[in-house]
Copies of this chain bind each other. A is one copy, B any other.
């Protein structure tokens, strides 16, 4: 795993605190290297994290060695809610990421905005179910790209911070099928690859139609 290689680099194994703009409570951005762990399954829950920059994946390892990514999160989003005191998923940085954290557990009352964030995560997970439940790989990929484009600000250019393997583990398909789906969309004239990790959407309407 690449993460262990990164973790072994001296001076970067421990997150570095960087002072940023003051919030309602004094918050500071903590820097995390790419491919490093934010929290592990089984660890103590209680904090949530807001992504200042970068991207994060939430996943679980299955007994047979496979991995299911249940969510990607990008800048501006909040993750880390758990039911109960123990985390049931792993959170890892995909790229270099800045996080601010907030201890939310054990409060007498919760702010409506906190509830709203938790519920948005719920809806997002349920929407993800709609995608994974589909059988057509091309549709899955179309929905994935539409969603990502939207979250990155609605541009016609999508920055794939995650690897094909990550995408596969997110959509429930192999990296070969991921690759073939992208190739198919490319041959249909819907996409153009600026580079392997940067996709330009040429025909957003056709893509939307595939995504239904």
Contact = CB atoms under 8 A, between A and B. Distances in A.
A115 B110 contact: yes
A188 interface: no
A119 to B, nearest CB: 4
A179 to B, nearest CB: 17
The CB with the most chain B CB atoms within 10 A, among A70, A108, A120, is that of A70
A161 interface: no
Interface residues of A, number: 44
Interface stretch (A4-12, A61-69, A195-203): A61-69
Interface string A110-131: 1110111011111101111110
Contacts of A82: 119, 123
Contacts of A181: none
Interface string A96-120: 0000000000111111101110111
